Amino acid sequence: DQQVKQNSPSLSVQEGRISILNCDYTNSMFDYFLWYKKYPAEGPTFLISISSIKDKNEDGRFTVFLNKSAKHLSLHIVPSQPGDSAVYFCAARRAQGGSEKLVFGKGTKLTVNP
Amino acid sequence: EAGVTQFPSHSVIEKGQTVTLRCDPISGHDNLYWYRRVMGKEIKFLLHFVKESKQDESGMPNNRFLAERTGGTYSTLKVQPAELEDSGVYFCASSLIKRAGGPYEQYFGPGTRLTVT
């Protein structure tokens, strides 16, 4: 039972254009959502997060949007750069009993072409 | 500041053998987590330490897996005996203790790639 879903395994965009990565979740008890970026042979690197009480969070070229009613979030990268090419993971946290565990999606491989 | 380090980076063992993975968190991080990614699948939570105590071990697959964090510093994850399905990349992450405004982000190590043949 996968609670966090990234339905697009890959995405290819041109340098300078917008990249939109999508994520859906099923558990309404999640209170924080995070995006991580992963290069080959490295661990995931934190990018940006959003609380479930907000609908948007922005950090430089990265913006995350949350639509709670649709249980959907998206990561926008504008403008996209070749160095953004990586696997992007959506993750969610459910605060329960002090646990801080993250539930991850399967990831979307982003390729930004020069 | 040094990041999360993991040792070894790769391990190839035969079914039935024992392997011990080590994680050194960022200094001062009381939260330590273990995750695993089986090829092509999502990163899955294994367990969470707060200092030396197990806060949540709901993701541990079975009793062949034993995690320890003596003294609240580094942690080890032992698999004994290893099975074929244990193959994957084991990630360790650490973070500060949560704040009122929300969780601190988890910093991940590079992972240990375990292959059981």
Chain A residues closer than 8 Å to B55 by CB? 98-100
CB of B55 less than 8 A from some CB of A: yes
Percent of chain B topping pLDDT 70: 95
Residue A96: predicted pLDDT: 72
Alpha carbon distance B86, B79 (integer Å):
8
What tens digit of pLDDT does each residue of B11-38 get? 999 999 999 999 999 999 999 999 999 9
Residue-level pLDDT, tens digit, chain A, 114 residues: 689 999 999 999 999 999 999 999 999 889 899 999 999 989 999 999 999 999 999 999 999 999 999 999 999 999 999 999 999 999 999 877 777 889 999 999 999 999
Instruction: Give the CA distances from residue A61 to residues A21, A43, A77, B12, B106, in Å, rounded to whole numbers and listed in that order.
Output: 14, 22, 5, 40, 21
Chain B residues closer than 8 Å to A4 by CB? 42
What tens digit of pLDDT does each residue of B41-56 get? 899 999 999 999 999 9
Residue A85: predicted pLDDT: 98
Mean pLDDT, chain A, whole residue set? 94
Nearest CA among A96, A90, A109, A76 for reference residue A4: A90
Nearest to B108 among A4, A43, A98 (CB): A43
Q: For the residues of A9-76, what is the DSSP string, one character each?
A: SEEEEETTS-EEEEEEE--TT--EEEEEEE-TTS--EEEEEEETT-SEEEETTEEEEEETTTTEEEEE
Please check the confidence at residue B10 and state whether its pLDDT lies above 90: yes
